Each structure stands twice: as structure tokens, then as C-alpha cells.
Amino acid sequence: MKFYSTNNKTNKVSFKEALMQGLPLDNGLYMPVSIPDQSKLVKGISTLNIKDISYVIAKSFLDEEFKNSDIEEIIDYSITFDSPLVNIYGNIHILELFHGPTLAFKDFGARFMARTMEKVVSNNNKELNILVATSGDTGSAVANGFYNVEGINVIILYPSKKVSKIQEKQLTTLGKNIHALEVDGSFDQCQSLVKKAFLDLQLTKKINLSSANSINIGRLIPQSFYYFNAFSKLKDKNDVIISVPSGNFGNITAGLLSKMMGLPIKKFIASTNANKAVPDFIKNGFYKPCQTIQTISNAMDVGNPSNIKRIINLYDKIDLLKEDMLSWSFSDNDTINTIKMILKKYKYLLEPHGAVGLLGLENYTKNLSKHSGIFLGTAHPSKFLDVIEPEINQKVEMPERLKNILDKEKQSIKMKNNYTEFSNYLLENFI
């Protein structure tokens, strides 16, 4: 299968090229030339587990460039945990995507990419340097997924004092081939530095660069796995509504691709915090980036989400997009109140991003008589102790894998939001 740039459909490359380049030189994003039909998979999906589902989907994108045995190995290595569907009340369910190594949904994409890139690099004999901007969980998932992978360095840019303490520990304490840059700025500014590096021809001639953000098509494909897996677990598969906490909009783009592959989802809801560029776009019909607003759901603090390019590319008209996706924003106060209410009433503890997802789902389904509602739980609540514990007045149990990193020493380099400083750092350390 070939992949084209959203800025130029004649610019077509192989999957391996799209994976390793990360970003086209024309500053677009890669998309598949055709979307695989998975209607046969849907028909028998209730009998399949997540590895079976993941293999079928991955094969439909990769089989022209990877042997079946390689694809099986990639899935066996990366999809080592499930995504349970847990009923909260009535027909409302949470898809728990936080059972991977770093307790965040981004483990799916990061581990898949790590194994896929490792196979490509092993045949090239050329060191690869991965740039990734993070607003929280991406950095830790990528760091864990690529840790100690031979031939690959990872350079993580994160906004100083704008990620949780535990998230920062996860992405700054590994060492070896993982390098953390603490940038004096926002996530959008970190992402801008990464994009400038990809478009800097003088830099890319000297350093072999790729990306592990959701701008990379290799992150997007495995994110479709758990939408199919969630559907397989539903008893009532009619009128399915899925609400996705949305920041850089890669997660919901994977959902929309799943729908186009044949997954029968009635409607997707893109639920955001106060950063509401996309809700405004859905409401007004024109897209305008916003200045980033800091919130308690920090992984969604994105004023100019990259993947809006892919969504606009998938839908020629705003009315067509509205048939598949709606979007609303919610305040920190709404988020906290939802966490408290669900804990008190249903004995289930949400974290801020999942709470925003539930708010979006409830906003849509409140006037529906029949539906099966799913919202995505994108991270474990213990990753946000500083936000949750003061509000619920009780301790949150922390998994051992998180406890073990608290005493580790932070290893990061502080950096200004300055491209010259960033490019000089890359040239001095990774040639």
C-alpha cells in the first residue's frame, strides 16, 4: 500500500518510507491511498481476541512490505495487554486503555512503532534519531517502547512544569538511548520545534530523523486496533457511540479510519478541554488555531492539533464530517465534578481525560432512547495524583510499576523555545 501527503496527493511513498520519514517535506501528513475493507473482520469479530484483530488490521496495511512472520512478530511483541471494556452504568462503558507498561493508551502505538522501526533499521545499518513532542503520556510511552532498542535514539521534548510529576519521571529517568529536553514553552511550541527540524534540509542531510508523535502514520494504524476490540466486546452492537478525549486528535482520527474500514460506529464525539479549536471548527465551519490553555487534563492542552489536517483530508465538506463526528469542550470544573460524581455514585475513579470523554458522551446520548456508549479511558488515575487526591480527599492506589520510578533521578536538559538552540543540540550530539 502507498501513502500520500495531505498537502499533495501525487506525493506517494511506501509504508516504510512514511514510517521512517515521519513527516513529508511539504509539511503535510501521510495517509493511506486506500482504506482497507474490514467488513469480513467485523462479521466474525466476537470470536477474536485483541492479537487476532490487530494482526488482521496490521496485515492490511503492511503485507506488501513485511513478511507475514514479521507482522506476527510485531504484534506478538507490541500487543501484550488487553483493553477491557468496563460497564459504568446503564449502557455506558469505559474502554480501559491503560493496561500497558506506562499505563496510558499510547503504549499501543509506541510499542508497535518501536518493533516496526527496529526491523527497518536492522536492515539499513544506519542509526535513527526519533524526535517526539509530548504533553504528557506520549513521551513516557515512546521512551518505554524504544528503550534500549539498538540503532535508535529517542529525543523527547516536553513543556517545562506542564506535565504531571509522574509523567515527567517516566520520560526522564531511563537514560541510555532516551534523551529528554525540558522546553520553556507549551506543547504546541515543542511540536513546532520538531516540525521545523523535519523541514530543515541542512539538518536532515546530516542526521537521520523520524517522529513517534501521532503525526507518524505508524502511530495511527495500531490505534485502530482497540476500536475494533471494543466493538468485539459489546453485547449490544447497535447504535454505538464512542467519545474520545482529544488533544492532538490522532486517537479520534484512528477511530474515524476504523469507521471507514467498516466498523459500524454511529457517531464519534471529540471531547476536549478548554482548548477548543476543533469544537469551534465544527460549530463555525472554519478552522482557526487557538493559543494553548493549561488545564488539569494536560495531555489535551493543544491549541493547534496536527491531525486536523488528516480529518479535513478525509472529509471534503464540514457537513459530511458532522455526520460522523461532533465535538464539544468542557471546563476543569465540569471535569472535577464528573470525577467526584462517578466515584460517589458508581465507585469508579476516573482521571481528568477520561472524565472529559464521559462528559462528551453524556452530552450526546442524553436525548437518545437506545444506544451503546463507550468513552475512552486513556490513562490510569494514579498518573494524576496531584490533581485527583485533593479533590476526592482520599489516597489513590498506585501500581508498583509507577512506585518504582518515584525515587529515580530525573535526567533532562533545559532548553529555551529556540530552534537554533535545538538544532545545535541535535548536531552536537547525534551526527
- Residue 141 is assigned to a structural domain of this protein: no
Average pLDDT over residues 13-17: 95
Q: Would you state the pLDDT for residue 260? A: 98
In a domain, 257, yes or no: yes
Specify the residue for cell string 534523551.
179
Q: What is the pLDDT, as a whole number, of residue 422?
A: 98
Supply 57's cell numbers: 488490521
Sheet of strand 209-211, all strands in order from the earlier edge strand to the far edge: 209-211, 128-133, 152-159, 178-184, 413-416
Confidence at residue 404, expressed as pLDDT on a 0 to 100 scale: 86
Residue 251: give its domain's CATH number: 3.40.50.1100
397: helix, coil or strand?
coil
Backbone angles phi, psi at 346, to 5 degrees: -125, 5
- Which helix or strand (DSSP H or E) is residue 268 part of? strand 267-272
Question: How do residues 189-211 score in pLDDT, each as one tens digit?
Answer: 998 999 999 999 999 999 999 88
Q: Check residue 96 and give its pLDDT.
A: 98
Residue identified by cell 464539544 is 328
Confidence of residue 431 (pLDDT cuts 50, 70, 90): confident
410 DSSP assignment? P
Parallel, antiparallel or unpaired: strands 128-133 and 209-211: parallel
Is the pLDDT confidence value at 118 over 80? yes
Q: What is the pLDDT of residue 213?
A: 73
Q: Which of 42, 6, 51, 43 is nearest to 25 (CA)?
A: 6
Structural domain range at position 257: 84-103+219-397
The secondary structure of the chain in percent helix, strand, coil, rounded to multiples of 5, reads 45, 20, 35
100 confidence band (pLDDT: 50, 70, 90): very high
Res. 58 pLDDT band, cuts 50 70 90: very high
pLDDT at 414 over 80: yes
Dihedral (CA of 19, 24, 28, 32) sign? negative
6 domain-assigned: no
Could you tell me the pLDDT band of residue 151, with boundaries at 50, 70 and 90? Answer: confident
User: What average pLDDT does range 295-300 have in this prediction?
Assistant: 92
d(CA 270, CA 86): 20
pLDDT at 211: 82
Instruction: Assess if residue 320 is contained within a domain.
Output: yes
Confidence at residue 311, expressed as pLDDT on a 0 to 100 scale:
97
Neighbours of 103 (CB within 10 A): 25
In a domain, 45, yes or no: no
Residue 166 included in any domain: no
Handedness of CA 7, 10, 14, 20 (dihedral sign): negative
The one catalytic residue among 16, 59, 106, 309: 106
106 pLDDT above the threshold of 80: yes
Which of 165-169, 293-297, 345-349 is predicted least confidently? 165-169
- The answer to whether 96 and 84 have CB atoms below 8 angstroms apart is yes
Phi, psi of 29 (to 5 degrees): -130, 145
165 within a domain of the structure (yes/no): no
C-alpha cell at 153: 535514539
Range 148-167 burial, b when 16+ CB lie within 10 A, else e: ebebbbbbbbbbbebbbebb
Is the pLDDT at 214 greater than 80? The verdict is no
Q: Taking Cα atoms as reference points, which of 244, 311, 237, 241 lies closest to residue 281?
A: 311
Say if CB 128 and CB 117 are below 8 A apart: yes
Q: What is the pLDDT of residue 21?
A: 86
User: Which band of pLDDT confidence, cut at 50, 70 and 90, is reported for residue 321?
Assistant: very high
Q: What pLDDT band is residue 334 in, cutting at 50, 70 and 90?
A: very high
The predicted-structure confidence for 71-93, as pLDDT tens digits, reads as follows: 999 999 999 999 999 999 999 99
Nearest-Å Rg of the Cα atoms of the chain is 20
Residue 30 lies in a domain: no
Structural domains in the chain (count): 1
Segment 233-246 mean pLDDT: 96
Whether residue 180 contacts residue 156, with contact meaning beta carbons closer than 8 Å, is answered with yes
d(CA 158, CA 124): 30
Mean residue pLDDT of the chain comes to: 94
Judge whether 259 counts as a catalytic residue.
no
In order, the DSSP letters of 11-37 are EEEEHHHHHHH-S-TTS--EEESS---
Query: CA 239 → CA 45, 90, 92, 323, distances in Å?
Result: 17, 14, 12, 14
Over 80: is that where the pLDDT of 242 sits? yes
Q: Is the pLDDT of residue 41 over 90?
A: yes
Rounded to 5°, the CA angle 33-35-38 comes to 155
pLDDT (0 to 100) of residue 50: 97
